[in-house]
Structure formats: structure tokens, C-alpha cells
Amino acid sequence: MSAGAVAPPASGLFRRRFQPRAQPVCAWLPTAALINVAALVAGVLLLQARFVLQPGVTVNLPAAAFTGGAPYGALVVTVSQEGMVFFNDERTTLEGLSSAFAQAAHEQPGATLVIEADSRVTHGTLVALYNMARAAGIQQISLATRLATPAEARLPDR
């Protein structure tokens, strides 16, 4: 070899390979897929949810120091201060209530009736509702109350 000639590099001995220190990030693809799936599931649940529609009547339930409950699917009678009567969220009259009680007792034997009455509804009205329900064949009747605050739990001074 002559002095000006350069020796060819060794075949595999000094070959340099490019190795990047950081790997390319592709994490956005699985995250986007999970967000899409979560949005679809949330949409389906919202569309299939049953929304409870209550009549636009304000009922001030009397306070009680105890808590109880009625079973799911109980029959509900709501009586407002103004005298409006609702049976299972449908407006009715006191006269039409006895036939609605009889039909409900026939369709759901052993069902519980919950009476939601405003605290200013007279005792006579509650007794009349109770008598109508018993005459129709409803055996379990409950009065709806709200949980009393500590100040309401004490007996009033007379």
C-alpha cells in the first residue's frame, strides 16, 4: 500500500448503528380509544336511564325522629295542602281514588301504600284515605315523613 492510500474499514468491526435514546411515543392512540368507549358507555347509560318525573306540587312532609322505608315499587298517594291528590304520579280526585285503590290491589296483591301528605292536611283526610285503602284490600299502609332536624326532634314547649 502506498502512503497516501487509506485502508478500507473493517467489515463489521467498527460499524456504527444508530440507536435513539427515546422511543417514539404512541400513547395517544389507546387513550383516545378508551375515551371513545367511555363516552359511548356513558351515552348508552344516560339514554336507557329511567327519569323519575314528580308532579310540580310541593309537599311539606311532617318531621319524625325515626327513619323507615317502604319497599321498592310501593303504591304512593300524594296529597298537597291545596287538596290536589295524586296516585302513582297521576292526578285524581278523592272520589276516583277508591276505584284506583281497588284496581291496584287487584293487580299487585300485598303491595304497600305510602301516603305522602302535607303537614297541613287535616287528620280527617288521612283517615279517609286510610279507610279507602283498607276497603279496597290494601293491608300495609305507611305515612311518609322526613327526617327531623335536631331542633325539631325535641318536643315543642306548650
| pLDDT, the chain, mean | 77
Per the structure block, which three cell numbers stand in for 153? 326532634
Residue 86 in domain: yes
Residue 40 in domain: no
Report pLDDT for 59: 67
Report pLDDT for 38: 93
SS3 83: coil
Report pLDDT for 3: 59
Report pLDDT for 158: 47
Residue 23 in domain: no
Q: How many domains does the chain have?
A: 1
The DSSP-derived string for 114-136 is EEEE-TTS-HHHHHHHHHHHHHH
By residue range, what is the domain housing residue 77?
A: 72-153
Residue 1 in domain: no
Q: What is the CATH number of the domain that holds 108?
A: 3.30.420.270
Residue 121 in domain: yes
pLDDT per position in the chain (158 positions), as tens?
A: 555 566 555 555 666 777 767 666 665 667 788 899 999 999 888 888 766 555 466 666 776 766 677 777 788 888 888 888 888 888 888 888 888 988 888 888 888 888 888 888 888 888 888 899 889 888 888 887 777 676 655 655 54
Q: Are 146 and 63 in contact (CB under 8 A)?
A: yes
Report pLDDT for 40: 93
Q: Are 86 and 55 in contact (CB under 8 A)?
A: yes
Residue 54 in domain: no
Report pLDDT for 37: 92
Task: Find the length of the chain.
Answer: 158
